Amino acid sequence: MTVANETLMDRDYKAAMQPFFGDAEIGSWVNGAMMAGRGEAFDLIDPATGKAFLELKDAGAEVVDAAMQAAEKGQRVWWALPAAERGRILWRIGQQVRDHLEQLAVLETVSAGKPIRDTRVEVLKVAEMFEYYAGWADKLHGDVIPVPTSHLNYTRPEPYGVITQITPWNAPIFTAGWQLAPALCAGNAAVLKPSEMTPLTSLALGGLSKKAGLPDGVITILTGLGMTTGVAATTHDVTRKVVFVGSPKTGAAIAAQAAANIVPCVLELGGKSANIVFEDADLRRAVLGAQAAIFSGAGQSCVAGSRLLVQRSVLDRFVDMLVDGANQIPVGDPLDPATQIGPINNLAQYQTIEGLIKAGCQEGAEVLAGGARPEGGICADGYFLRPTVLGNVRNDMGIAREEIFGPVVSVIPFDDEADAIAIANDSKFGLAGAVWTNRVDRAHRVAANVRAGTFWINSYKTINVMSPFGGFGHSGYGRSSGKEGLMEYMQPKSVWTETAENPPAAFGYAPE
C-alpha cells in the first residue's frame, strides 16, 4: 500500500476561506449578501483529520422565506435583460471561476476531502459549464407552427421562475455549477441548498457571481440541514421546480414534497453501474479503466463502476492485475498532489461502507485487496479506506445490489455476452455502464442493450457539459447537461394571433 506523503500538510482553513468570505460570518448567500442562519448550530468537519474546523448555523424557514422573496424579484430583473447580456454575465462568472481556480480547489479540498488533483479539474469544469451555457443564452427561441386556422401560432421558451436545487457532498462545486449555469441560462433564478457537510465552495460561487455582475437574488445559496432548510425550500410556494442530486431515499421524499406543492422534479440519483470486461479486451487498458471507474474520488461518485463483470476465461489474470494496481494507488492527504485517493467525506458514510463490506463478507465475499484503513500515522484520524477489491461476489448478494459510494469494487464473473448483459441489467439502478472489448459489433450491441443513461466503450467516467446525463430506473429521471439539461429549465408558451381580416365568428353574439 502506498501512502502519498509521510505527514498531513498544513491545513490553514482561515486562509482557504479568506479570499471568498473575508472576516464575515458565514451564513447563507441571499440577495447578494451573507445572511446569518437562525437555526441550530452544526460543525464542518475536515474528512482528512476528522476534526471540526468551522461552526455554522442552519438557515431555517425564516431565511428561506427571505431568500425566496429576493429570488422572485431577482428573476424578474434577470429575465428582463437582453438575452445576450445574460450570456455575457454567465461568461464572466466562468471567468471569475477561472481567476480563482486554485483558491476554489484548495477550499474544496480542505473542506470536502477531495484530492487536489481532482478539485483542480472539477473547478475548471465549472468554468466550462458557465461558458457553455453563456453561448446558449441568446440562441433560445421557439417555433412557428403551421396551424390549420388563420392564426399565427408560435412558441416562446420561458423560464419556470425560481428553481430550488438540492445537492450532495461528493462533488460540491461541480454539482453547483452543473445546475446553476443552465438554470440561469434559461432565465430562472436558482435557490441552491448544498449539502450541510460541504457548503463553502457553493457559497464562494455565489460571491463570485456578484463580482461578475449578476443581479442580486438570481443566485441564492442556503446553508443548512435537509430536514429544515431543504424541506422549507422545496415546499415553498415560490419554488416552481425542484432539481435534486443525491440518494434515492431522499429523492423519493423530495419528489413527494414537490408533488404536494404541484411542481415538477428532476432527480439525479445513485447507481450500481456494471463495468464489463470481455476476454478480447486490451486487459491492461481495461484494468486501468476499472480502477478509475471505482477508486477515483474514493468511489464517492454516482457513476462509479462498482460491479466489475469479468469474463470467466480471463478472471484470474484480470483480478491479479486489479489487486496489484489497487495496492499501489497512493492514498493519503488530499492536499498532496501525489494523492489519488483521499478520505471518505464523512464518518456516517465511512461507517456505511465498512458495514457493507462486513455484510458482503458474511454473505461469502472475499476481501482480495484493501478492506481496512491504511497503516501509517497520516491516515489514523481521518476517514481513510484502502481501495478494496471483493471477490466471490454473486449479483444477488447485497454488496452487488446496494450502492456503496466508496472505493469498493465487487468482481462478478460471467460466461458470455448474453450473460453479461443480463447481469448488468439485473439492478434497480440504471445510471451508467461500460464495456471493454476489441470487437466493434459487440461493443455497440452491449451499449444498446444495457439499461443506463450513460455508457462508455473502452473508456469510463468521461462526461462533459455538452452531453446529456441522467438515469434510468431508480437512478432518477430528467436530464442534466447539454441541450437536454437546458430544456429541463424551460417551459414552452404557445401564442395564438388571429391574422384574418374578417375572422369568422365561431361562437357568441356580436351586437351591431
Residue 281 vs 400, nearer CB to ligand NAD: 400
The full length of the chain comes to: 512
Residue 187 vs 471, nearer CB to ligand NAD: 471
Q: What is the dihedral of CA 167, 171, 173, 179, to 10 degrees?
A: -50
**Any catalytic annotation for residue 265?**
no
Q: Which of 57, 193, 272, 461 binds ligand NAD (CB under 6 A)?
A: 193
Q: DSSP label at 7?
A: S
Residue 261 vs 449, nearer CB to ligand NAD: 261
- How many residues of this chain bind ligand NAD (CB under 6 A)? 31
**Any catalytic annotation for residue 185?**
no
Give the number of C-alpha atoms closer than 13 A to the C-alpha of residue 427, restricted to the C-beta side. Answer: 32
What residues pair up with 212 in beta bridges, in sequence order?
Answer: none
* Residue 195 touching ligand NAD (CB under 6 A): yes
Residue 257 vs 275, nearer CB to ligand NAD: 257
Determine the straight-line distance between the first and last CA of the chain, rounded to whole angstroms: 94
Catalytic residue, chosen from 131, 302, 354, 488, is 302
Catalytic residue, chosen from 268, 354, 403, 488, is 268
Which has the closest alpha carbon to 119: 353, 336, 373? 336
Give the shortest CB-260-to-ligand NAD separation in angstroms: 12
* Residue 417 touching ligand NAD (CB under 6 A): no
Q: How far apart are CA 396 and CA 296, in angstroms?
A: 26
Residue with C-alpha cell 486562509? 15
Residue 41 vs 144, nearer CB to ligand NAD: 41
Site map 441..470 versus ligand NAD, x via CB under 6 A: ------------------------------
* Residue 395 touching ligand NAD (CB under 6 A): no
* Residue 435 touching ligand NAD (CB under 6 A): no
CB 266 within 8 A of CB 478: yes
Residue 268 vs 417, nearer CB to ligand NAD: 268
Residue 185 vs 302, nearer CB to ligand NAD: 302
Question: Which among 101-109, 162-170, 308-316, 394-402 is the span making contact with ligand NAD, rule CB under 6 A?
Answer: 162-170
CB 371 within 8 A of CB 1: no
Rounded to 5 degrees, φ, ψ at 336 are -80, 120
Q: Which of 26, 116, 253, 294 binds ligand NAD (CB under 6 A)?
A: 253
* Residue 59 touching ligand NAD (CB under 6 A): no
Q: Which of residues 232-251 bind ligand NAD (CB under 6 A)?
A: 234, 245-247, 250
CB 359 within 8 A of CB 395: no
Give the shortest CB-475-to-ligand NAD separation in angstroms: 6
Give the shortest CB-231-to-ligand NAD separation in angstroms: 5
Residue 173 vs 212, nearer CB to ligand NAD: 173
Which has the closest alpha carbon to 279: 410, 419, 437? 437
Q: Which of residues 256-315 bind ligand NAD (CB under 6 A)?
A: 257, 268-271, 302
CB 458 within 8 A of CB 288: no
CB 70 within 8 A of CB 216: yes
Give the shortest CB-243-to-ligand NAD separation in angstroms: 10
Q: Which of 403, 417, 442, 490 binds ligand NAD (CB under 6 A)?
A: 403
The x, y and z cell numbers of residue 26, run together, are 458565514
Q: Which of 172, 230, 305, 407 binds ligand NAD (CB under 6 A)?
A: 230
Q: Which of 19, 142, 226, 264 binds ligand NAD (CB under 6 A)?
A: 226
Distances 39 to 59, 229, 313 between C-alpha atoms, Å: 6, 9, 59
**How many Cβ atoms from other residues are within 10 Å of residue 99's Cβ?**
13
Q: How far apart are CA 182 and CA 133, in angstroms?
A: 6
Q: Which of 196, 333, 336, 417 binds ligand NAD (CB under 6 A)?
A: 196
Residue 374 vs 473, nearer CB to ligand NAD: 473
Residue with C-alpha cell 481521518? 382
Q: Which of 28, 49, 170, 202 binds ligand NAD (CB under 6 A)?
A: 170
Q: DSSP label at 230?
A: I
CB 462 within 8 A of CB 434: no
Rounded to 5 degrees, φ, ψ at 501 are -65, -45
* Residue 477 touching ligand NAD (CB under 6 A): no
Cβ neighbors of 505 (< 8 A, separation 6 or more) are none
Strand 366-369: give its sheet, edge to edge: 366-369, 388-391, 408-414, 307-311, 274-277, 432-436, 454-457
Residues in touch with ligand NAD (CB under 6 A)? 166-170, 193, 195-196, 225-227, 230-231, 234, 245-247, 250, 253-254, 257, 268-271, 302, 403, 405, 431, 471, 476
Q: Active-site residue numbers?
A: 268, 302
